[in-house]
Amino acid sequence: MSSADPGGAGSEAPAAPPAAGGQAGGASPAGAGLPGGAAGRAGAGGLAGAAGQAGAGRLAGAGGPAGAGQPGGAAGGGDPGELARRVAARVRDVPDFPLPGVLFKDLTPMLADGPLLADVARAIAAEHDAAGFDVVAGVEARGFLIAAAVAITAGTGVVPVRKAGKLPWKTVARSYTLEYGEATIEVHADAFAEHRRVLLVDDVLATGGTLAAAADLVGRAGGELAGTSVVLELAALGGRDRLGSLDVHTVLTG
């Protein structure tokens, strides 16, 4: 999520009711939540499972469903309610950050929980597997981390949607207005030249400004938006209402 959008990394999220509480799911071995079949192991620089690497935009290897024998199973998400409760237990409320009166939703505890991050990535990839996608675009900054995890799970590449001036080559830009200023995000002009079906991923849906701009930017850069997911939606801020026909999948709504 862009730093100019409420709820994003280093951004402001106006005070909203805390996310639905819950307890973290049972601890699992560090490798258990990683992509790969039951006989696979995350070693020697790879996440290959028993059936081999997942094909682009798919969660199943040649020999069977990805994730078999792991938390979440073949569908990658298990019980969505249980996953939401686990995520809620790893979202930390930080009052008065970065400004007085702002309640910041800190997802870094969730990102540090390896099995949980892997299950979130698997759930997002599984949600959009039927529609099909061949690249994942992540919005600066925590969206980068989540998008990369989803891309590894699905066996695709990842494209960063960055703040203005951060990308080294020719870019396509999109500016948008927030209640307290203006922001601009960019992607490389050729970001979707080879992989056109784009899954757009961000950390938080707050007022909706950044996500709407990023979705528009995908199209302007030549991509086809195959789906959109966020980890946390702050429903009280009404961001979904500002996204028009854009259908957004969320892991947790608070």
**Three-state secondary structure call for residue 153:** helix
Where would I find the beta strands (DSSP E) of the chain?
A: 60-61, 64-65, 92-95, 103-106, 135-139, 157-163, 171-178, 181-188, 197-205, 224-233, 248-253
Q: Is residue 131 part of a domain?
A: yes
pTM of the model: 0.73
Active site residue 122: no
Q: Is residue 8 part of a domain?
A: no
CATH number at residue 235: 3.40.50.2020
Q: Is residue 51 part of a domain?
A: no
Q: Is residue 11 part of a domain?
A: no
Q: Is residue 35 part of a domain?
A: no
Q: How many domains does the chain have?
A: 1
pLDDT surpasses 50 at 53: no
Q: Is residue 17 part of a domain?
A: no
Q: Is residue 63 part of a domain?
A: no
Q: Which domain holds residue 205?
A: 73-253
Q: What is the DSSP string of 9-61?
A: TTS--B--PPPP--PPPPP--TTTTSSS-TT--SBTTB--BTTBSPPTT-SEE
Active site residue 127: no
Q: How confident is the model at residue 181 (pLDDT cuts 50, 70, 90)?
A: confident
Q: Is residue 45 part of a domain?
A: no
pLDDT one-digit tens code per residue, 231-251: 999 999 999 999 999 999 999
Of residues 86, 90, 122, 142, which has the active-site annotation? Answer: 142
